Chain A
Amino acid sequence: MDLQILLLLGQDGITNGAIYALLALALVLVFTVTRVIFIPQGEFVAYGALTLASLQAGKVPGTVWLLLALGTTVAVLDGVRLVREGRFAKLTPLLILNIGLPLLAAAGLFAMPPTQLPLWAQVVVSMLLVVPLGPMIYRVAYQPLAGASVLVLLIVSVAIHVALIGLGLLFFGAEGSRTPSFTDLSFELAGAPLQGQTILVVVASASLIIGLYFFFERTIYGKALRATAMNRTGARLMGIPPTLAGKLCLTLAAAIGAFSGILIAPITTIYYDSGFLIGLKGFVGAIIGGLASYPVAALGAVLVGLLESYSSFYASAFKEVIVFTLIIPVLLWRSLTSTHIEEEEE
């Protein structure tokens, strides 16, 4: 064991930790605003990475079919209500948004497989295919149950997770994929090589976290989300609809997930079911922050990344065990120090 290995492992840990931090933030966000423990968070990571990989392989990613199916379901659900209430003016934007755009995307992908496009454009296309799934899933699965208990919402989350894994296998196949790296730059740090890709992941995650900070602190929509998390009744009385908050939240969660997937796709091989474990590690970070504190959740997630990286060197067979065992002392510590009284389940 020398300094070089130590640095290399640390680098690896921080790269993974940055990704876990993003996912932990998304989990805290979704939980505080909607009370949903968003198990499918990891699936968005896999979908983001694998959608990009299929685009690069010249295939039409199956994500587009899911987008069409969910979009149609949303359009039918909301459309029936609009027609019953006689609000025909809102019908057109609803149909365009939920059926028109996915159709256009499908047609576009068939007409011109985006293998020729530059990498950044492929990334944008992948995000556009994956991110709308977030609000659509909210509309179809969570919105009708908005008043349900945390446990019921958790069960729904598990169901969505299982469904997305199955669909992932159908869409992307059982083989894993890796995308070409965004940059081939390499530096040297104290004798250890420092990959440009690592720096990219850390910088991109950090910028996204800063961006989210400004969104929540400076924009009225960000404040509305925080307000909903703090006081649901108060927020409703201000005319902040819980459904708007929920959709906005899942849009952010899906974007964070897909973006994380695209970031790590060049570093690790992603399989249709890789997302779950990645998401779960983000979840450990979120638990360290008590599913409430953003900075503690982010730090906890980085800690998870480092712990994972070092334990994979010293005790690689027990890597996952060590990481997930971390949750036990954390829960113990939290339950001993917490003076907070469990809130009533609304």
Chain B
Amino acid sequence: MTTITPPNLHQHEIILDVKDLRVAYGKVEALHKVSLAIRRGEIVTVIGPNGAGKTTLLSALMGLLPAEGEIVYMGHAQGREREVESLVRHGMTLVPEKRELFAEMSVEDNLLLGAFDRYRSGHRDQMETMDEVFELFPRLEERRAQLAGTLSGGERQMLAMGRALMAKPKLLMLDEPSLGLAPLIIKEIFRIIGELKKTGVAILLVEQNARAALQIADYGYVLETGEISLAGPSQELAADPRVIEAYLGLGHKH
């Protein structure tokens, strides 16, 4: 893993600061007092088992679900009525677990729409951004005229990420990018996530694949049944016997 980050990118500017976030579906509390922080140019991962509330966490941050608690994004406290659209305008993007691609549109159109809000606010640099995305994902350039619905699982994930990058995000949130993909493709996706870090974007990576996630992340949180049970620099987490036991499965081999 090559993570040569120019020191000037590490300005320790906090992009997202979450305190005591609570989300409830009716009376069932899905997230209980979750706090986390992400700095500029940093990859933060949230690992945990199925049903721990990882996707709920991202949906709440993105404004898709109502939540209580304190969310400070780019220095601005977010009110209760956060709107997805205004968060997108301020550089927050989510690559959802289900990808949510526009299946009957070409790869190119999907990417173009990723820059819809930038277009709407007067930016006309979509073509250059698309070239940058193609550089990162050459496979997408080969498939540019193909309908998104006909892509393979790995290509769909690449397209979902490429589409999110078209918005030139400051905070990129990835929900289970490895879900349902072959090991080689997962390796490729994680390599690219590691490369994205160099551009200075903050990445919040939610994963079940704890090993891969902790390898590229700077900091990690373990989310279990709606609560943060462990947190720390990812190397420390990866060495923590509890994490090894529960998520890395190497407990007996040492």
Contacts and interface: CB of A to CB of B under 8 A. Distances in A.
Interface of A: 220, 223-224, 226-227, 230-231, 233-241
Interface of B: 62, 64, 83-85, 88-89, 93-94, 96, 100-105, 109, 112-114, 116-117, 119-120, 163, 167
A233 B117 contact: no
Nearest to B86: A239
A238 B105 contact: no
A230 B104 CA distance: 8
A230 B85 contact: no
Contacts of A235: 102, 113
Contacts of A226: 102, 104-105
Contacts of A223: 105, 109, 112-113
A241 B121 CA distance: 13
Contact of B84 (A220, A231, A239): A239
Given A220-B112, A224-B116, A238-B163, A231 B103 contact: yes
Contact of B113 (A227, A233, A241): A227
B102 A227 contact: yes
Contacts of A240: 85, 113, 116-117
Contacts of B116: 220, 224, 238-240
A228 to B, nearest CB: 9
Contacts of B88: 237-239
- Listed from nearest, the 6 A-B pairs whose CB atoms lie closest are A239-B117, A239-B88, A234-B100, A241-B85, A227-B102, A236-B84
Contact of A230 (B62, B105, B119, B163): B105
Given A223-B105, A230-B102, A231-B103, A238 B114 contact: yes
Given A223-B113, A224-B113, A233-B64, A239 B120 contact: yes
Given A223-B112, A227-B113, A237 B62 contact: yes
Contacts of B105: 223, 226-227, 230
B92 to A, nearest CB: 10
B167 A239 contact: yes
Contact of B100 (A224, A233, A239): A233
Contacts of A224: 113, 116
B113 A220 contact: yes
Contacts of B94: 237
A239 B100 CA distance: 13
A235 B119 CA distance: 14
B114 to A, nearest CB: 6
Given A236-B64, A237-B88, 15 more contacts: A220-B116, A223-B112, A224-B116, A226-B105, A227-B105, A231-B100, A231-B101, A233-B64, A235-B102, A236-B84, A237-B84, A237-B93, A237-B100, A238-B113, A238-B114
